[in-house]
Amino acid sequence: MKLLTLNGHAWQEDNQMTKIKQVAARIHKSRYDAVALQEVSQHKDAHYVYDHIRNDNYGYLIQQELNALGSTDYELVWEVSHYGYDVYEEGIALLVRHPIQSSESFYVTNSTSIDYWKSRKIVSAKCVINEVPVRLYSCHLGWWGDKDEPYDTQVDVLMSHVNVEGLSFLLGDFNASDESREEGYDYILAHGWIDTHKVALEQIGEETIKGNIAGWDQNKEGIKIDHIFSNQHVHVQQSEVVFDGRTTPIVSDHYGLEVTFTIG
């Protein structure tokens, strides 16, 4: 089984369409079982193509590129969290290469207003992979120490929605460094979750952002704030930071993270 998470920084990148094609090419080549995406935006004035998906939706465009490459089996789930940069409906998404049995979304913040930039929503999908029921959660949380939307409250709400009986994965931008003790990262681990990167037999890369980016204005170092957590022990062969300019192009202000493991 292979998973990828990436904060796409959608429509805030130069050469955005080129980078969308690069992301799609990697997904097509790697045949990820599922991809979690954050900062998946669409312009509020763009035309709808179906339901609430507009024709410039970052996740939808990746899906269309995948279709063009021959990977026609990826299903898209997307929900808006809040307005970003005034004109974008910013949300989160899952692209899943297996039939989705059910999906849901829910806010983890006190605010559920699309007009408030700190509003945070989670998207989840249930599918069967290698005959094992799996629940996937694409996550984009706030920051530890935020008094308006406390991080621990967001995690508590997330945990109240998680299916603890079956195999579940939390994937995304947690805005929580794995090097900061007694903060968001440790709070998630304290709920029994396992960082798949840390238990991988082979770990490639140790940072998913470098320097100051939005939300990390004072950061000067490379840190890892994007994670893939599991609620059960799985045999992780490899965890690799991708889209970091090393063997794959940089496509965002975040790098991606992929993990390969066996289940069942």
- What are the pLDDT tens digits along the chain (264 aa)? 999 999 999 999 999 999 999 999 999 999 999 999 999 999 999 999 999 999 999 999 999 999 999 999 999 999 999 999 999 999 999 999 999 999 999 999 999 999 999 999 999 999 999 999 999 999 999 999 999 999 999 999 999 999 778 999 999 999 999 999 999 999 999 999 999 999 999 999 999 998 655 554 555 578 999 999 999 999 999 999 999 999 999 999 999 999 999 986
Owning domain of residue 209: 2-262
pLDDT of residue 220: 52
> Long-range pairs for 206-212 at CB < 8 Å and ≥24 separation?
206/241, 207/241, 207/255, 208/241, 208/254, 208/255, 208/256, 208/257, 209/253, 209/254, 209/255, 210/255
pLDDT of residue 212: 52
pLDDT of residue 216: 47
Q: What is the model's pTM? A: 0.96
- Residue 150: CB partners within 8 Å, gap ≥ 6? none
Provide the residue type at 220 as one letter.
K
pLDDT of residue 165: 82
> How far is Cα 80 from Cα 92, in angstroms, rounded to an integer?
7
Percent of the chain surpassing pLDDT 90: 92
Helix (H, G, I), strand (E, B) or coil at 92: strand
Please compute, for residue 259, the number of CA atoms within 13 A of its CA located in the half-sphere on the CB side.
27
Instruction: Give the β-pairing of 34-43 and 2-7.
Output: parallel
How many structural domains are present in the chain? 1
Exposed, middle or buried: residue 85 (CB in 10 Å: 0-12, 13-18, 19+)?
exposed
Segment 123-136, tens digit of pLDDT: 999 999 999 999 99
Question: Looking at residue 82, which CATH number applies to its domain?
Answer: 3.60.10.10
